[in-house]
Amino acid sequence: MKPIQVGLLGIGTVGSGVFNVLNRNQNEIQRRAGRGIEITMVADLDTARAQAVVGANVKVVNDARAIIANPEIDIVIELIGGYGIAKQLVMEAIAAGKHVVTANKALLAVHGTEIFAAAHAKGVMVAFEAAVAGGIPIIKSLREGLTANRIQWIAGIINGTTNFILSEMRDKGLDFSAALQDAQALGYAEADPTFDIEGVDAAHKVTLMSAIAFGIPVQFDKAYVEGISKLAAQDIKYAEQLGYRIKLLGITKRVQANGKEGIELRVHPSLVPNKRLIANVEGAMNAVMVQGDAVGTTLYYGKGAGSEPTASAVIADLVDITRLHTADPAHRVPHLAFQPDAMSDLQVLPMSDIVTSYYLRLRVADEAGVLAKVTGILATAGISIDAVLQREADEVGGEGSTQTDVIILTHDCVESKMNAAMVQMQALSSVLAPITRIRKEELA
Ligand code: HSE
């Protein structure tokens, strides 16, 4: 049988990986797919560079629409990224009856509802394994492997850049900006690292996982997003002394709030007990924990970015489509794991309604009664304290210092209660600097 014909839009790091792995493993892949898979056209603005990557046998064009218009092409791989031209091209490819494979988490987290509806109406597949956690088959696991389960929660390290920076901060005692410079020098962080360090990339990915886990529409606009750029080296050190590591987690949970079921969807730095496997995921690696009612807790670990790890996910999607494209669309796995007419209207909760525990660091005057005032406010608010660590003033502010750090770990409470208590604590004259608050996840 003639190989299935693939057109590739954008041949950068990931595109080259797809081309190379498909060539290298073509025999193995064909034995799995039941048919050859061949990239026959590539569109890239830099045609000379693209031609050098793919060789003379592949047609290289600078106009992506030439691929979409080609009736020989069965599958379009979109590796352009972003919400602009990539969205137009994906919608045009769907309209032309092409199946689409994309690594574009930003596009799907923001416009997924429209894109999946268009694909469903046209009877084509939009596959996106590479959009979340690179080479880790987490979409496959959530959509198929765990399909028996009522999923309770997901917590993941799904941004390698920030995990690398946090590892550098902990290992070398660096502050954030020095660790970011290291990450940039080693090629882990982009020249403009905003999406990574401010948690946006992780929020795109957890938005997609949340939709698949709970059968809700993608709702990136409802996600709470806080990055790592304000983290201080001393908080990483204090967390360590208390038995925790700080990780940027993408978290989504099905919870009861005010007697109603809702969904938490949030990205922020989190203290994680250092005895959890996920707390020991270091460098640019990714890991995702999924808790299902039948299976219990599962953990998926691997490379979340890079040429061939991401290509591994793209090609898995190509194989799925090759196997399924002649099947009745009703027999395919739904884009968001649940049938389109069986989606849930569970609401994403505002951050003030989430329940978690907290790490607080207060820079205080080292004088009698300060701790009593702080703990009194927490007690009156009904917030239970789990642990308190007070540093020696000399250690914090140098010899003769009259200031010190008080670190408090709390038990679970609703965020609105903590917000109100923090306003009161901040107003104390003996609290000398803005209070640092980092959420804590036990992931038990
Ligand atoms: N920039 C991402 C990361 C990889 O650092 O994990 C692509 O999503």
Q: For residue 46, give the 3-state DSSP assignment.
A: coil
> What pLDDT score does 259 carry?
82
Q: What pLDDT, in 10s, does the model give residues 347-365? A: 999 999 999 999 999 999 9
Q: Is the pLDDT at 394 greater than 80, yes or no? A: no
Residues 336 and 423 in one domain: no
**Which residue(s) pair with 77 in the sheet?**
8, 101
Q: Is the pLDDT at 399 greater than 90, yes or no? A: no
> In which band, very low, low, confident or very high, does the pLDDT at 401 lie, cut at 50, 70 and 90?
confident
Tell me the mean pLDDT in the region 315-337: 95
Is 350 inside any structural domain? no
Residues within 6 Å of ligand 1 by CB: 159-161, 196, 201, 304-305
Residues 151 and 257 in one domain: yes
253 part of the active site: no
> In which band, very low, low, confident or very high, does the pLDDT at 391 lie, cut at 50, 70 and 90?
confident
Q: How far is the CA of 193 from the centre of ligand 1 (A)?
A: 10
Q: What pLDDT, in 10s, does the model give residues 62-72? A: 999 999 999 99
Mean pLDDT for the chain overall: 96
We report the CATH number of the domain holding residue 335 as: 3.40.50.720
DSSP 8-state code for residue 71: T
Is 203 inside any structural domain? yes
**If we measure between CA atoms, which residue out of 434, 268, 291, 247 comes closest to residue 351?**
268
Residues 58 and 200 in one domain: no
Residues 374 and 431 in one domain: yes
> What pLDDT score does 102 carry?
98
> What pLDDT score does 332 carry?
95
Cβ atoms of 8 and 79 within 8 Å: the answer is yes
Closest C-alpha residue for ligand 1 atom 2 = 159
Cβ atoms of 134 and 310 within 8 Å: the answer is yes
Residues 315 and 255 in one domain: no
Tell me the mean pLDDT in the region 387-404: 84
Question: Which of 14, 136, 201 to mutate to test ligand 1, by most ligand atoms within 8 A of the CB atom?
Answer: 201
Is 348 inside any structural domain? no
Q: How many domains does the chain have?
A: 3
Cβ atoms of 59 and 43 within 8 Å: the answer is no
Residues 131 and 149 in one domain: no
Is 349 inside any structural domain? no
Is 205 inside any structural domain? yes
**If we measure between CA atoms, which residue out of 306, 46, 264, 243 comes closest to residue 155?**
264
> In which band, very low, low, confident or very high, does the pLDDT at 398 lie, cut at 50, 70 and 90?
confident
- Measure CA 321 to chain center: 25
> What pLDDT score does 36 carry?
97
Q: What pLDDT, in 10s, does the model give residues 279-321? A: 999 999 999 999 999 999 999 999 999 999 999 999 999 999 9
> What pLDDT score does 258 carry?
78
Q: Is the pLDDT at 395 greater than 80, yes or no? A: no
> What pLDDT score does 1 carry?
87
Closest C-alpha residue for ligand 1 atom 4 = 305
Residues 182 and 249 in one domain: yes
We report the CATH number of the domain holding residue 429 as: 3.30.70.260
> In which band, very low, low, confident or very high, does the pLDDT at 168 lie, cut at 50, 70 and 90?
very high
> What pLDDT score does 187 carry?
86
Q: Measured at the alpha carbon of residue 400, what is the angle toward residues 395 and 401, in degrees to the nearest 5? A: 60
> In which band, very low, low, confident or very high, does the pLDDT at 393 lie, cut at 50, 70 and 90?
confident
Q: What pLDDT, in 10s, does the model give residues 94-130? A: 999 999 999 999 999 999 999 999 999 999 999 999 9
Domain that holds residue 147: 139-304
- Specify the pairing of strand 59-61 against strand 260-273: unpaired
> In angstroms, how far apart are the furthest CA atoms of the chain?
83
Q: Is the pLDDT at 260 greater than 90, yes or no? A: no
Q: Which residues contact residue 368 at a Cβ distance below 8 angstroms, ignoring those fewer than 6 apart?
A: none
**Runs of H (alpha helix) within 277-380:** 307-324, 370-380
Residues 380 and 337 in one domain: no
* CA dist 329 → 321, 333, 417 (Å): 11, 9, 48
Q: Pick the catalytic residue: 87, 205, 247, 440?
A: 205
**If we measure between CA atoms, which residue out of 203, 283, 235, 257 comes closest to residue 409?**
235
- Rounded Cα distance between 288 and 302, Å, is 9
Q: Is the pLDDT at 277 greater than 90, yes or no? A: yes
> What pLDDT score does 440 carry?
98
Cβ atoms of 205 and 156 within 8 Å: the answer is yes
DSSP 8-state code for residue 42: E
Question: Which of 128, 161, 209, 307 to mutate to test ligand 1, by most ligand atoms within 8 A of the CB atom?
Answer: 161
Atom of ligand 1 nearest to the CA of 131: 8
Residues 270 and 313 in one domain: no
Is 393 inside any structural domain? yes
Atom of ligand 1 nearest to the CA of 310: 7
Q: Is the pLDDT at 175 greater than 80, yes or no? A: yes
Q: How far is the CA of 19 from the centre of ligand 1 (A)?
A: 20
Q: Which residues contact residue 253 at a Cβ distance below 8 angstroms, ignoring those fewer than 6 apart?
A: 152, 153, 154, 263, 264
Residues 374 and 329 in one domain: no
Residues 313 and 292 in one domain: no
Q: How far is the CA of 243 from the centre of ligand 1 (A)?
A: 28
Is 277 inside any structural domain? yes
**How is 221-233 classified by DSSP, letter by letter?**
GG-EE--STT--H
Is 351 inside any structural domain? no
User: How many C-beta atoms surround the C-beta of residue 423 within 10 A?
Assistant: 11
We report the CATH number of the domain holding residue 253 as: 3.30.360.10
Residues 107 and 247 in one domain: no
